[in-house]
């Protein structure tokens, strides 16, 4: 099977019905990945060009009006036989696929996708400026800013690093607090876990974009060009933030062998045996592993060794900050 690229444009009705998460999950099950994304409001002229080959169809005017009426989401998708998989299996033709389940008619039918290699090439070329414009907006938005995203296993020293950065004038922010602010605005009666789970299921891009908005707002309030955020968990959030912010978002994995973490746990808690330390630490590690922390080490921008002294750790952080200014 050949590796191909194709395009999905989630229409206003697809966004309103919260189907982005379902589309992303289906892409994953078909071994396809999103390599770029952009949310935008299209001009009527651009949509007319998209549907230029259907200009004589009776639905042309209506579909142009609908697709240009509100924001849409562009997804550039890559993988084996991506064009056919997206068109016929994921988005689907009636009555199969997501369209078969959720479409209202031929206009409000969830998403637009090309149906052949030639149309995919044409529409990706047409969309190139959309993605470039989003990248340029992001460059302007994040210019002069730096976010250190701290992660690692239990008792690795994230808090120590965050506090040290804070002492150097780099505010220490908690990821959960930013999500709580969003919850309070969107659904104040909801439990935080239920809120984030529901929003990620419907449209994770909207949730993560809002998170970025809260992060930037907090940096503005604190008049800070550099901040750290704790605690970064696994899953697609970190890659998305990296995609949006580029080198302005640095995943910092605090690394320390289990044996040393157990020894420090014994000292900190006044424990007498290693088994007592294991009883405390290993269940926490299991939760971290299930949440995807080890996978973040594979994509980390910086891996900081915390097996030495506090002074060694501070030196490594100082070197990192200097390098990133």
**Domain extents in the chain:** 3-139, 144-324
The beta strands (E) that lie in the chain are given as 3-10, 33-40, 72-80, 111-112, 146-151, 172-174, 226-230, 249-255, 302-305
pTM: 0.91
Contact present, 306 and 166 (Cβ < 8 Å): no
Contact present, 1 and 77 (Cβ < 8 Å): no
Strand 3-10, strand 72-80: pairing: antiparallel
- The pair of structure tokens assigned to 283 is 């269940």
List, by residue number, the catalytic residues: 112
| Fold classified for 3-139 | Alpha-Beta Plaits (3.30.70)
CA distance 148 to 321: 9
User: Is 2 exposed, middle or buried (CB count within 10 Å of its CB: 0-12, 13-18, 19+)?
Assistant: exposed
CATH architecture of 144-324: 3-Layer(aba) Sandwich (3.40)
CA distances from residue 262 to 168, 212, 268, 277 in whole angstroms, order as listed: 29, 35, 10, 6
CA distance 216 to 141: 9
Tokens 């002074």: give the residue: 311
- Digit-by-digit pLDDT tens for the chain (325 residues) are 789 999 999 999 999 999 999 999 999 999 999 999 999 999 999 999 999 999 999 999 999 999 999 999 999 999 999 999 999 999 986 677 899 999 999 899 999 999 999 999 999 999 999 999 999 999 999 999 999 999 999 999 999 999 999 999 999 999 999 999 999 999 999 999 999 999 999 999 999 999 999 999 999 999 999 999 998 888 889 999 999 999 999 999 999 999 999 999 999 899 999 999 999 999 999 999 999 999 999 999 999 999 999 999 999 999 999 999 8
The dihedral through the CA atoms of 239, 241, 244, 249 has a sign that is negative
CA distance 23 to 14: 10
Domains 3-139 and 144-324 share a fold: no
CA distances from residue 19 to 13, 40, 135, 188, 202 in whole angstroms, order as listed: 9, 17, 24, 23, 6
Greatest C-alpha distance within the chain: 82
């Amino acid at each position: 099977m050949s590796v191909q690229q194709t395009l999905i444009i989630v229409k206003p009705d697809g966004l309103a019905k919260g189907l982005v998460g379902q589309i992303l999950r289906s892409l994953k099950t078909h071994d396809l990945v999103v390599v770029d994304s952009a949310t935008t409001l299209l001009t009527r002229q651009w949509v007319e060009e998209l549907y230029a080959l259907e200009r004589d169809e009776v639905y042309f005017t209506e579909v142009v009006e609908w697709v240009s009426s509100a924001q849409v989401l562009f997804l550039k998708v890559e993988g084996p036989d991506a064009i056919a998989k997206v068109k016929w299996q994921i988005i689907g033709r009636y009555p199969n696929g997501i369209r078969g389940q959720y479409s209202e008619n031929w206009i409000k039918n969830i998403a637009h996708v090309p149906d052949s290699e030639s149309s995919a090439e044409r529409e990706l070329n047409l969309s190139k400026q959309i993605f470039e414009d989003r990248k340029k907006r992001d460059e302007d938005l994040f210019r002069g800013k730096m976010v250190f995203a701290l992660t690692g296993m239990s008792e690795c020293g994230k808090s120590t690093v965050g506090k040290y950065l804070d002492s150097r004038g780099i505010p220490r922010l908690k990821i959960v607090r930013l999500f709580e602010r969003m919850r309070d605005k969107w659904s104040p009666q909801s439990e935080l876990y239920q809120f984030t789970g529901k929003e990620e299921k419907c449209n994770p891009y909207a949730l993560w974009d809002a998170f970025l908005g809260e992060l930037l707002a907090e940096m503005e309030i604190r008049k800070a060009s550099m901040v750290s955020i704790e605690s970064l968990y696994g899953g697609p959030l970190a890659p998305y933030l990296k995609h949006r912010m580029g080198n302005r978002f640095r995943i910092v994995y605090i690394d320390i062998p289990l044996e040393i973490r157990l020894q420090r746990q014994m000292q900190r808690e006044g424990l007498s045996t290693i088994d007592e330390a294991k009883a405390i630490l290993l269940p926490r590690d299991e939760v971290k592993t299930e949440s995807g922390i080890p996978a973040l080490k594979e994509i980390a921008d910086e891996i900081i060794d915390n097996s030495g002294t506090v002074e060694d750790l501070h030196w490594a952080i100082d070197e990192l900050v200097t390098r990133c200014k």
